[in-house]
Amino acid sequence: MTETLTAALLKCDLADATGLSENCLPLVHDAVEVAATGHGVEAGFPRWEGDGASAYFLGCDAAARAVRAALDAVERVRIIPGYEVRLRASVGVGEVQKGADLTKVSP
């Protein structure tokens, strides 16, 4: 029998990103990465695709940590000085096999 772990996937993206300066995107990335890292994101995450990111959290408290990371990221992005930026975030919870390659897991 294969052991499974609780997994929470945090997805976030910028609302109305088309009007943002290219100078703002690195600030957003930094804010989201600090928030995710501070709440125990898995190594190699968050992963960025354009103006959106995904991050996996594993373990019995994965959902709580992902939600806290989402709230933290939304607030960190909201207070970036000189920009009016909104970050949308959602969290999904499920199970993955222990040792699974999270880069190949479908949300």
Predicted confidence (pLDDT) per residue in 26-60, tens digit: 999 999 999 999 999 998 899 998 889 999 999 99
Predicted confidence (pLDDT) per residue in 53-91, tens digit: 999 999 999 999 999 999 999 999 999 999 989 999 999
Residue 97 vs residue 67, higher pLDDT: 67
- Residue 57, CA distances (Å) to 76, 80, 86, 92, 105 in order: 19, 25, 23, 10, 13
User: Which pLDDT score is estimated for 21?
Assistant: 80
pLDDT tops 60 at residue 7: yes
36-49 burial code (b ≥16 CB/10 A, e <16)? beebebeeebbeee
Q: Which residues contact 8 (CB under 8 A, 6 or more apart)?
A: 56, 57, 58, 62, 63, 65, 66, 67, 91, 92, 93
Going by pLDDT thresholds of 50, 70 and 90, the confidence category of residue 102 is confident
Q: How far apart are CA 71 and CA 22, in angstroms?
A: 24
Residue 20 vs residue 26, higher pLDDT: 26
